[in-house]
Structure 1
Amino acid sequence: MATNLATAVSTFSNHLFAAVDMGSNSFKLLIVRADPTTGRFLDLDRLKEPVVLGRDIPATGTISAPSQLRAIEALRQFQQILHSQQVSPTQTRLVATSAVREAANRSEFLHKIHQTLGLEVDVLSGEEEARLVYMGVLQFHPVFSKTALIIDIGGGSTEFVIGKQGEVMFGTSLKLGHVTLTEQFVKHNQILKMRERIRSVIQHSGLIEKVVQHGFDIAIGSSGTIRWIEKAVFFGYGRNLMDGVDLFDGYKRDWRFSREELGNLVERLCGEEGGLEEKFRRDGFFKRRSEFIVAGAVLLEEIFGVLGIDEMEVSGYALGEGVVAEKLSRLFDGYDLNANARWRSVVRLGTRFNNKKRMKAASQCASIAKEIFEGVRKWNELANDQNKLVVSLDDKDLEYLEAACLLHNIGLLSGKKGYHKQSYHIIMNDNHLHGYSTEEVELIALLVKHHRKKFPKFHRAALQRFAKEVKRKFKILCAVIRVSVSVQRYQSVDIQEMEFSHCDEGFKLVICKTMKQPLLPDMVQSLAEDVEAELRKELEHFREVFQQKLEVVVPSSTSESLDPQNCL
Structure 2
Amino acid sequence: MAAVIDIGATSNRMAIAEIDAEGHVKPLESVSRPVSLGKDTFTQRRIRKSSIEQCVRVLKSYRQLLREYGITQNDAVRVVATSAVREAMNRLAFIDRVYIATGFDVEPLDEAEVSRITYMGIQPQLQAEPRLASRRCMVVEVGGGSTEVLVVQSGNVLFSHTYRLGSLRLLETLEKFKAPRSKQRAIMESQILRFVAQIREHVSADSPLQMIGIGGDVRFAGRQLLEDWDLTGLAYLPVERLNELTRRLLQMTEEDISRQYGLSIQDAETLVPALLCYLLIARGFDQSEIAISDTNLRDGLLHDMAIQDVWTANFRSQIIRSAVSLGRRFDFDEKHARHVATLCRKLFSELQEEHQLEPRNELILYLAALLHEIGYYINTRSNHKHTMYLIRHSEIFGLGRKDLLLVSLVARYHRRSSPQPQHEGYANLDRNGRVTVSKLAAILRVAIALDESRSQRIQDISCRVTGRKLIISAAGVEDVTLEQLALRQSGNLFEETYGIPVLLRAASRSS
TM-score tier after normalising by the smaller chain length: 0.5 to 0.7
Shift of 1:177: 1.6
Deviation per CA, 1:42-62: give whole Å up to 9, x if none. 210101010111111232111
Q: Name the structure 1 match of 2:458.
A: none
Q: Name the structure 1 match of 2:201.
A: 209
After superposition, the Cα gap between the structure-2 partners of 1:298 and 1:194, relative to the gap in structure 1 and judged at 3 Å, is same
Matches within 5 A, 1:5-84: 16-37=1-22, 39-84=23-68
Q: Name the structure 1 match of 2:269.
A: 291
After superposition, the Cα gap between the structure-2 partners of 1:210 and 1:70, relative to the gap in structure 1 and judged at 3 Å, is same
**How far apart, CA to CA, are the structure 2 residues paired with 1:64 and 1:57?**
9
The answer to whether 1:268 aligns with 2:248 is yes
**How far apart, CA to CA, are the structure 2 residues paired with 1:336 and 1:299?**
32
**How far apart, CA to CA, are the structure 2 residues paired with 1:253 and 1:326?**
19
The one-letter code matched in structure 1 to 2:297 is L
Q: TM-score, normalised by structure 2?
A: 0.54
Q: Name the structure 1 match of 2:412.
A: none
What are the ranges of 5 or more consecutive residues in structure 1 without an aligned counterpart?
Answer: 1-15, 235-246, 338-568
Partner of 1:18, secondary structure, is: strand
Q: Name the structure 1 match of 2:192.
A: 198
Deviation per CA, 1:213-252: give whole Å up to 9, x if none. 8966432111001101122223xxxxxxxxxxxx559999
Shift of 1:172: 1.4
The one-letter code matched in structure 1 to 2:303 is A
Q: Name the structure 2 match of 1:120.
A: 105
Partner of 2:263, secondary structure, is: helix
Shift of 1:64: 0.7
The answer to whether 1:325 aligns with 2:309 is no
After superposition, the Cα gap between the structure-2 partners of 1:41 and 1:156, relative to the gap in structure 1 and judged at 3 Å, is same
Name whichever of 52-61 and 302-311 sits farther off.
Answer: 302-311
Shift of 1:191: 2.2
Q: Name the structure 2 match of 1:135.
A: 120
Partner of 1:45, secondary structure, is: strand
After superposition, the Cα gap between the structure-2 partners of 1:81 and 1:41, relative to the gap in structure 1 and judged at 3 Å, is same
Q: Name the structure 2 match of 1:410.
A: none
Shift of 1:83: 2.6
**How far apart, CA to CA, are the structure 1 residues paired with 2:78 and 2:230?**
37
Shift of 1:22: 0.8
Partner of 1:255, secondary structure, is: strand
Q: Name the structure 2 match of 1:259.
A: 239
Percent of pairs identical after alignment? 25
Deviation per CA, 1:50-103: give whole Å up to 9, x if none. 011111123211111111111111111112222331234223211111101111
Q: Name the structure 2 match of 1:152.
A: 141
The one-letter code matched in structure 2 to 1:55 is K
Partner of 1:287, secondary structure, is: coil
Shift of 1:35: 2.8
Partner of 1:44, secondary structure, is: strand
The answer to whether the Cα contact below 8 Å between 2:229 and 2:235 also exists between their aligned partners in 1 is no
Q: Name the structure 1 match of 2:500.
A: none
Q: Name the structure 2 match of 1:350.
A: none
Shift of 1:17: 2.0
RCO higher in 1 or 2 (8 Å CA, sep ≥ 6)? 1
Q: Name the structure 1 match of 2:507.
A: none
The answer to whether the Cα contact below 8 Å between 1:34 and 1:40 also exists between their aligned partners in 2 is yes
**How far apart, CA to CA, are the structure 2 residues paired with 1:279 and 1:48?**
20
Partner of 2:278, secondary structure, is: helix
**How far apart, CA to CA, are the structure 1 residues paired with 2:114 and 2:312?**
23
Deviation per CA, 1:351-373: give whole Å up to 9, x if none. xxxxxxxxxxxxxxxxxxxxxxx
**How far apart, CA to CA, are the structure 2 residues paired with 1:263 and 1:17?**
39
The one-letter code matched in structure 1 to 2:97 is K
**How far apart, CA to CA, are the structure 2 residues paired with 1:222 and 1:251?**
12
The answer to whether 1:228 aligns with 2:206 is no
Q: Name the structure 2 match of 1:389.
A: none
What are the ranges of 5 or more consecutive residues in structure 2 without an aligned counterpart?
Answer: 316-511
Shift of 1:335: 10
Deviation per CA, 1:470-514: give whole Å up to 9, x if none. xxxxxxxxxxxxxxxxxxxxxxxxxxxxxxxxxxxxxxxxxxxxx
The one-letter code matched in structure 2 to 1:115 is I
Deviation per CA, 1:3-28: give whole Å up to 9, x if none. xxxxxxxxxxxxx1211111101111
Aligned with residue 174 of structure 1, among 146, 163, 176: 163
Deviation per CA, 1:247-292: give whole Å up to 9, x if none. 5599999622112111111222224xxx77x963663125223222
The answer to whether the Cα contact below 8 Å between 2:249 and 2:257 also exists between their aligned partners in 1 is no
